[in-house]
Every structure is written in C-alpha cells, then in structure tokens.
Amino acid sequence: MAVDGSARLTVLTVLSGPSGVGKSTVVAHLRAAHPEVWQSVSATTRKPRPGETHGVEYFFITDDEFDRLIAAGELLEWAEFAGHRYGTPRQPVEDRLARGEAVLLEIDLQGARQIRAVMPEALLVFLRPPSWDELVRRLVGRGTEPAEVVAERLATAKIELAAEPEFDVTLVNTSVQDVAHELVALMRPTTT
Ligand code: 5GP
C-alpha cells in the first residue's frame, strides 16, 4: 500500500467475488460495527428485489438513464452482469476519497479490474465461498431469481472464481463475523 502523497487512495477498498458468495451480508455486518466506512450505492438497470429500496441497495434506473450516466462520464466503472448493467457513481466516491474517508465498493470482477486500472492503489479483496457446493446452495436458496438466472449466475461464478489471483487478498466466507472483522482489519489504519 502507498504511504506517500498518494496515500489517500489506500482508503479505497474493493470487495468482489462471485454472485451469491455473501458480499452484501459481510458489508452490512461491517458497517453496523463501523459506520464511518462509507459504501458506494451503485446504479443498476436490474429491477428491485422484494425489500430493496431505491437509493439504499441501489439506484434503480432505466436503460436510457444508464446510457446518459455513461455518456456524461458520471460512472467510475460499470459492467454488464447477468443481463443488467451496474455502475459506481463517480462523484460521491471522489468527494470522500478527497476528504480521506474510507470508501468501500462492492462490485463484480469486471468492475474490480476497471478500478485496478484507474486507481492502482486501491485494495482489491476477493471473497471466496468455502466450497463450490456452498455457493450453489446459497444462490439457489436465495429463491429470488428464476432458474435460468441462477444458472447464468453460476456460470459467471465459475469464471469469477478463476480470477482470484488478480486480487491483493482473499478472504474465505466461512463466517460473516470473521470475514467482516478481517476486512475491517485490512482497511486500517483509516478505520481505527
Ligand atoms: P445483484 O444483482 O446480485 O445485486 O448484483 C450482481 C453483481 O453485480 C454482484 O456481483 C455485485 O457485486 C455486482 N455489482 C453491484 N454493483 C456494482 C457496480 O456498481 N459495478 C459493478 N461492476 N458491479 C456491481
């Protein structure tokens, strides 16, 4: 990690890993204990799942609105995932990094690669399931997506798992508490 003049970028942490691995649960747990860690709210063209609220889990927007954000350069990174687009609004992230505040992005592999390219000092953390069977169980068990969407996400997960060596650190999601604890330790000293 950089400790020189570019050190402010080290407060950016990217959490990635296959869909269904439990990234959101880990982040929710971490933020309950460390509200000073700010999580970016992504824009997506996917429809909300039951219980999801515009502006909380995501900004749920139309394809046209997403096109506009890309054209205006307002996304720090974006990717197409399982038939929908997801992107990180640039300005809120840059504002917080400029103030030296800890920023957490929970994004897919393609997005993590883009962040690596534009912000090389970012810490890239890969969250891995304890086993392939466990990932299948979680994705199927979520019960929020039709079978073909689950199948597509599993196919993508195989590709994503193979990218683990590209990351700075791997955490294995055996326990939400343990992983949240390990993740916050990696984000120090900015969270102490
Ligand atoms: P889900 O539809 O399950 O909420 O998210 C699908 C995938 O998109 C997850 O792997 C999630 O981490 C990723 N994702 C969420 N927001 C973003 C984003 O802003 N950019 C990118 N590249 N991926 C995202």
Q: Is 107 in the pocket of ligand 1 (CB under 6 A)?
A: yes
What is the predicted pLDDT for the residue at 87? 98
Residue nearest to atom 12 of ligand 1 (CA): 107
The confidence score (pLDDT) of residue 140 equals: 86
Its pTM surpasses 0.75: yes
Domains identified in the chain, total number: 1
The mean pLDDT value for 12-26 works out to 94
Distance from C-alpha of 52 to C-alpha of 94, rounded to nearest angstrom? 26
CA–CA dist 79, 130 (Å, integer): 26
Kindly state whether residue 119 falls inside one of the protein's structural domains: yes
* Terminal Cα-to-Cα distance of the chain (whole angstroms): 17
pLDDT, position 1: 43
| pLDDT band for position 141 (cuts 50, 70, 90) | confident
pLDDT at 106 over 80: yes
> Order of strands across the sheet with 75-81?
58-60, 42-44, 84-89, 75-81
Lowest-pLDDT choice from 30-34, 84-88, 165-169:
30-34
Residue 77 CA, ligand 1 centroid: distance in Å? 11
Do the domain assignments include residue 59?
yes
Indicate the pLDDT class of residue 142, thresholds 50, 70 and 90: confident
In a domain, 9, yes or no: yes
Model confidence pLDDT, tens digit, residues 144-164: 888 888 899 899 999 999 999
Task: Please check whether residue 192 lies inside any domain of the structure.
Answer: no
Specify the pLDDT at position 46: 97
- The domain containing residue 149 runs over which residues? 2-187
pLDDT of residue 9: 30
| pLDDT-above-70 percentage for the chain | 92
| pLDDT attached to residue 189 | 55
Residue 117 lies in a domain: yes
Is the C-beta atom of 108 inside 6 A of ligand 1?
A: yes
User: What CATH number corresponds to the domain at position 33?
Assistant: 3.40.50.300
Q: For residue 139, what pLDDT is reported?
A: 86
Closest Cα to atom 6 of ligand 1: 19
Asked whether residue 139 is domain-assigned, the answer is yes
